[in-house]
């Protein structure tokens, strides 16, 4: 019978089958442990994917409502978002938002989820008007100074970052009537681009009632601004604010808490307008949103 040699006695012995099996298991143990760890980590990450939901169209001008677990941290393209105690949060896309965005969530246990968002782009109406008198295109220095001063006040009112939770509730239409101006449209006067239309115009007779689109706190109540005339801004919490312009009468004061559907004034033609209507704006901090996307269909009759 042929034998094999071992280093100790000059004879190489064939290992026992059971000992060889145990040796193989011992050798493979680190790789098996690593595989189990990776699988467990993957399962944990997958479990957290169900703890992030988004409600709202992912398109330019849209307000999006999010929900995650309490204690999570959320960021949009690196910008930290406020997250309510119940895990609710909001964000918005401006008129010219890029076609892609990234939402990052770090959960309370340290797990992380990154979600790529495809943002639908829109086409806006552009109107060119030439041959206008220059004074109608460029205000004189005195008027320009007033415009700048008033814009600072408007920006401050919209920059309020309160912990109100009214942003979680559905919005109602503040007035009812034909839509006479849409979000995102733009005029070019004598070759000079004007600021795009940042809201929605609702045509209605002078004196028609205007109600708050959602509950909140009044942060501006002005009767005579140069461009917007009677103007009210209401803070709904977490950077979301609604704006009402060209009002004939203003029935609220700064600091006043209003309920959704509560009267705040009447439709007018104050400021620089050609006829009575309500200009409704919706802002997420400095980002101007399309109110039509947040409000849904206008009621046909009544409220």
Q: What is the pLDDT of residues 42-80, one digit of tens each?
A: 444 444 444 899 999 999 999 999 999 999 999 999 999
Can you tell me which residue has the tokens 């949060």?
89
Please list the residues that pair with 116 across neighbouring strands.
Answer: 102
* pLDDT at residue number 256: 98
* CA 196/CA 211 separation, integer angstroms: 25
* CA 285/CA 263 separation, integer angstroms: 24
What CA dihedral angle connects 132, 187, 125 and 226, to 10 degrees?
Answer: -120
Confidence bin at 136 (pLDDT 50/70/90): low
Domains of the chain: 53-118 (2.60.40), 126-295 (2.70.70.10)
Written as six digits, the tokens of 111 are 């797990």
The alpha-carbon radius of gyration of the chain (Å, integer) is 30
pTM confidence score: 0.81
> Is the sign of the CA dihedral 258, 261, 262, 266 positive or negative?
positive
Mean pLDDT of 195-211: 95
* pLDDT at residue number 259: 98
Q: What is the pLDDT of residues 210-237, one digit of tens each?
A: 999 999 999 999 999 999 999 999 999 9
* pLDDT at residue number 137: 65
By DSSP bridging, strand 100-106 and strand 73-76 are antiparallel
Q: Residue 30: pLDDT above 90?
A: no
Provide the CA 52 distance to its chain's centre, in angstroms.
16
Q: What is the pLDDT of residues 146-155, one digit of tens each?
A: 999 999 999 9
């Amino acid at each position: 019978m042929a034998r094999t040699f071992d280093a100790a006695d000059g004879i190489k012995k064939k290992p026992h089958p059971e000992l060889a099996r145990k040796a193989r298991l011992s050798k493979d143990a680190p790789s098996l442990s690593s595989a189990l760890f990776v699988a467990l980590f993957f399962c944990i990450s997958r479990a957290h994917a169900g703890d992030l939901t988004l409600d709202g169209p992912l398109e330019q001008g849209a307000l999006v409502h999010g929900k995650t677990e309490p204690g999570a941290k959320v960021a949009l393209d690196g910008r930290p978002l406020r997250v309510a105690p119940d895990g609710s949060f909001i964000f918005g896309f401006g008129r010219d938002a890029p076609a892609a965005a990234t939402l990052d969530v770090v959960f309370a246990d340290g797990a992380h989820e990154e979600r790529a968002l495809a943002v639908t782009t829109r086409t806006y109406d552009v109107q060119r008007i030439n041959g206008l008198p220059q004074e109608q295109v460029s205000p004189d220095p005195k008027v320009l100074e007033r415009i700048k001063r008033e814009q600072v006040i408007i920006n401050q009112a919209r920059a309020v970052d309160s912990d109100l939770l009214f942003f979680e509730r559905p919005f109602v239409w503040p007035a009812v009537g034909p839509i006479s101006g849409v979000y995102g449209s733009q005029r070019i006067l004598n070759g000079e681009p004007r600021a795009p239309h940042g809201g929605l115009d609702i045509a209605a007779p002078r004196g028609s009632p205007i109600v708050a689109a959602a509950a909140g706190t009044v942060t501006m109540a002005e009767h005579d601004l140069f461009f917007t005339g009677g103007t009210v801004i209401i803070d709904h919490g977490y950077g979301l604010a609604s704006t009402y312009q060209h009002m004939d009468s203003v029935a609220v004061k700064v600091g006043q808490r209003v309920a959704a559907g509560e009267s705040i004034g009447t439709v007018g033609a104050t400021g620089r307008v050609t006829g009575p209507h309500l200009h409704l704006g919706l802002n997420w901090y400095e980002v101007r949103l399309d109110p039509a996307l947040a409000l849904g269909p206008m009621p046909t009759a009544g409220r």
